[in-house]
């Protein structure tokens, strides 16, 4: 097997992981890493020994494919140049920060035949697949994705940053299109929302309730899925899935629950989650989801098959995220036009302050 010649563009947090894994992947030959930042270049060279360049254009003729792991606002410009040059691309999520740009990339990929994979890496999390195994058709999903503040991805809000993972997951399992979206959001530090809550309804009747925060004191990545045959709960952090399959004798109403004797009621009450709604908890073996994402992408390039998350799927996630942002931007808080910034912030009258508040100065000096 001749390895595909691949470059990683953007050597930040995600780019470093892509580069390290691709350097070890027999299906890939990591040709170079491109990043204009001297600090990022210096840091990546401590991890992998491959040529580092400032501009990906200088190595574009030496590669078959590239991973785009720059801040989201640069995805479109970089990926469209790569696609126009006939290269395959793996674009980190979200594919772009506008539906129009995502559609353009998708059409460009169709016209060149390039394989585009979008980095919705949670699709490769085996816990998600396990949770869907026995519960029939998913109808209602509730998800929480919370982290502390990291100062990363501040060019986008939490909807594009974190909620997009769950948006893509629900969109991939629910039937139909989105018919209604209601959302609220709060900004704590900047102009983009740091917390958001959305209720999304699909034409097939399915509903998703998604919550995300990047300003939370507790870290959590969890999902509850209610299907036609049962319920699953996923703890993504600990790779644990708890499932209850509702037995057919309950679904078919074969037992008249409302005419049981007192003893029968006691028995069911006391052993509900053992004998009736049997609860199974599984530790799902972990895998490196980014490595699985690379393998799926390189295999699709090699065999001409479709990658797991194509450009159109990435675009649909952006479209749903846009609907959420529109809803939270137009939400009215007590007749005041606070919109996306939410009730925590007042609208800036003279622009955002660029000085550190007096009260924080002593601690900031000590930390410096």
Ligand X SMILES: NC(=O)c1ccc[n+]([C@@H]2O[C@H](COP(=O)([O-])OP(=O)(O)OC[C@H]3O[C@@H](n4cnc5c(N)ncnc54)[C@H](O)[C@@H]3O)[C@@H](O)[C@H]2O)c1
Please give the size of the binding site for ligand X, defined by CB under 6 A: 25
Indicate which single residue of 19, 28, 63, 69 sits in contact with ligand X (rule: CB under 6 A). Answer: 69
Shortest CB 179 distance to ligand X, Å: 28
Shortest CB 70 distance to ligand X, Å: 4
By the 8 A CB rule, do 150 and 308 touch? no
Q: Hey, what's the torsion of the CAs at 201, 203, 205, 209, to 10 degrees? A: -20
First to last CA, the chain: 51
Paired tokens of 312: 């159109």
Shortest CB 154 distance to ligand X, Å: 9
Binding of residue 19 to ligand X (CB under 6 A): no
Binding of residue 192 to ligand X (CB under 6 A): no
Helix locations, the chain, DSSP H: 13-24, 38-45, 75-84, 99-112, 126-132, 158, 164-173, 248-251, 262-270, 289-303, 311-330, 361-367
Select the span of 64-72, 107-115, 123-131, 224-232 touching ligand X (CB under 6 A): 64-72
Binding of residue 216 to ligand X (CB under 6 A): no
By the 8 A CB rule, do 122 and 223 touch? no
Indicate which single residue of 4, 6, 8, 12 sits in contact with ligand X (rule: CB under 6 A). Answer: 12
x-or-dash pattern for ligand X, window 21-60, by CB under 6 A?
A: -------------xxxx--x---------------x----
Give the side-chain half-sphere CA count within 13 A for 312: 5
Considering only residues 115 to 174 of the shown chain, the ones binding ligand X according to CB under 6 A are 119, 121, 152-153
x-or-dash pattern for ligand X, window 82-111, by CB under 6 A?
A: ----------xx------------------
Choose between 7 and 245: whose C-beta lies nearer to ligand X.
7
Binding of residue 302 to ligand X (CB under 6 A): no
Shortest CB 69 distance to ligand X, Å: 5
To which H or E segment does residue 253 belong?
Answer: none
Q: How many of the other CB atoms lie within 10 Å of CB of 331?
A: 16
By the 8 A CB rule, do 100 and 136 touch? no
Beta-bridge partner residues of 32? 7
Site residues for ligand X per CB under 6 A? 9-15, 34-37, 40, 56, 69-72, 74, 78, 92-93, 119, 121, 152-153
């Amino acid at each position: 097997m001749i390895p595909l010649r691949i470059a990683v563009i953007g050597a930040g947090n995600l780019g470093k992981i892509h580069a390290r894994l691709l350097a070890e992947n027999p299906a890939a030959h990591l040709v170079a890493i491109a990043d204009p930042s001297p600090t990022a270049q210096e840091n990546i060279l401590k991890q992998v020994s491959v040529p580092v360049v400032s501009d990906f254009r200088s190595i574009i003729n030496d590669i078959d494919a590239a991973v785009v792991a720059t801040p989201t606002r640069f995805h479109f410009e970089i990926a469209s140049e790569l696609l126009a040059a006939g290269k395959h691309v793996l674009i980190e999520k979200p594919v772009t920060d506008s539906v129009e740009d995502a559609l353009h990339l998708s059409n460009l990929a169709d016209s060149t035949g390039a394989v585009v994979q979008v980095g919705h890496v949670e699709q490769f999390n085996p816990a998600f697949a396990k949770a869907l195994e026995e519960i029939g058709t998913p109808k209602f999903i509730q998800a929480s994705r919370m982290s502390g503040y990291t100062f990363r991805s501040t060019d986008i809000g939490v909807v594009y940053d974190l909620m997009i993972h769950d948006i893509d997951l629900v969109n991939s399992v629910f039937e139909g299109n989105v018919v209604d979206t209601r959302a609220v959001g709060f900004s704590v530090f900047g102009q983009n929302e740091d917390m958001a809550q959305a209720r999304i309804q699909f034409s097939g009747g399915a509903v998703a309730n998604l919550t995300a925060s990047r300003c939370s004191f507790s870290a959590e990545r969890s999902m509850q899925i209610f299907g036609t045959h049962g319920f699953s709960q996923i703890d993504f952090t600990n790779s644990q899935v708890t499932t209850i399959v509702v037995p057919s004798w309950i679904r078919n109403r074969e037992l008249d629950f409302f005419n049981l004797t007192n003893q029968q009621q006691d028995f069911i009450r006391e052993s509900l989650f053992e004998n009736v709604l049997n609860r199974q908890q599984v530790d799902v073996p972990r895998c490196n989801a980014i490595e699985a994402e690379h393998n799926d992408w390189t295999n699709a390039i090699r065999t001409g098959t479709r990658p797991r998350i194509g450009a159109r799927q990435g675009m649909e996630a952006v479209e749903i995220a846009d609907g959420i942002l529109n809803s939270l931007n137009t939400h009215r808080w007590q007749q005041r036009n606070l919109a996306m910034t939410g009730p925590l912030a007042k609208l800036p009258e003279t622009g955002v302050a660029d000085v550190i508040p007096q009260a924080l100065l002593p601690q900031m000096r000590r930390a410096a």
